[in-house]
Amino acid sequence: MGSCPAALPGSPAALSPSPSANMKLIVGIGGMTNGGKTTLANGLHRSLPNCCVIHQDDFFKPQDQIAVGEDGFKQWDVLESLDMEAMLSTVRAWLSNPQKFARAHGVNVQPGAPDTHILLLEGFLLYSYKPLVDLYSRRYFLTVPYEECKWRRSTRTYTVPDAPGLFDGHVWPMYQKYKREMEASGVDVVYLDGTKPREELLREALEDIQNSLLNRG
């Protein structure tokens, strides 16, 4: 689920003064499929102390519970394909006791690190489930252009292979639908350009998280 590496030079924990005791920060790494979410989450995870990660993809329902929609495709890219109650319960378990949660998932909490615990949530529909939306301290949303997204998707191998026409017939329309709903509901997100080099994206996010820690400390 995550690990708690020591603070690296340039990370928020290494640069900022000690924040207030028992600070908890939940950071969302959301956005489109193949936008760079997992890469960014993994980079932040390695750079931040006392940090755990929850991946939304781990909460997909079994394949036989995924409905076929009017578009003729299995509805993998809708909120109903995910067990969001289970995901919320996992987040609440972390909130109630971050140290216990970390150790239960094989994480060693760094004794010398500031008493700050960070939870990264990574997924493609993080901001469409109301009970989770208000829990975030920071919400990132990665985007890439249509053609780039389609090309990246075509190079990936999935446990359940994409059916012919799935991207244009289901994946992209659902991304647009949920993004419009998110924007209409006024969810405050920080947009990140997923075409930037991964090192630049990581540095940008780390600096932003550092500022969040300073403002909350």
Q: Show which residues are catalytic.
A: 57
Residue whose pair of structure tokens reads 């990132």 in the numeric block:
140
Q: What are phi and psi of 201, to 5 degrees?
A: -65, -40
Q: What is the DSSP string of 74-133?
A: B-TTSGGGB-HHHHHHHHHHHHH-HHHHHHHTT----TTS-SEEEEEEE-SSTTS-HHHH
E strand or H helix at 215: helix 198-216
- How far is Cα 153 from Cα 159, in angstroms, rounded to an integer? 13
Nearest to 4 by CA among 174, 119, 152, 121: 119
